[in-house]
Amino acid sequence: MIANGEIWDWQSAQQCMAISGCDAVMIGRGALNIPNLSRVVKYNEPRMPWPEVVALLQKYTRLEKQGDTGLYHVARIKPVVELFA
């Protein structure tokens, strides 16, 4: 069994596992907001700083533009950017 729900950091993952009795958690929305959330949860690492998140989004956009035609990449990244608004 895997637990999920409101996993935003190492502490919330530990609390979820303690309450549920599970030995693993699944992350969802948090991963869109915190790109390195899996490492934050597993290793208690700090969240990726905002400048690194921006650089990652810019790299993603460049790669999408190289492999795609039209503005499809904008449609794919828009929901992620809206999470930061």
pLDDT tens digits, one per residue of 17-71: 999 999 999 998 888 889 899 999 999 999 999 999 889 888 888 887 787 656 5
Q: Hey, which residues does 25 pair with through a beta bridge?
A: 3
Q: Which domain holds residue 27?
A: 3-43
Q: Measure CA of the first residue to CA of the last residue in the chain; give whole Å.
A: 34
Contact 25/17 with Cβ under 8 angstroms?
yes
Q: If 0-12 CB within 10 Å is exposed, 13-18 middle and 19+ buried, where does residue 45 land?
A: middle
Q: Looking at the whole model, is its pTM more than 0.85?
A: no
Residues 35 and 56 in one domain: no
What SS3 class is residue 4?
A: strand
Residues 57 and 79 in one domain: yes
Pair 34, 59 in one domain = no
| Number of independent structural domains in the chain | 2
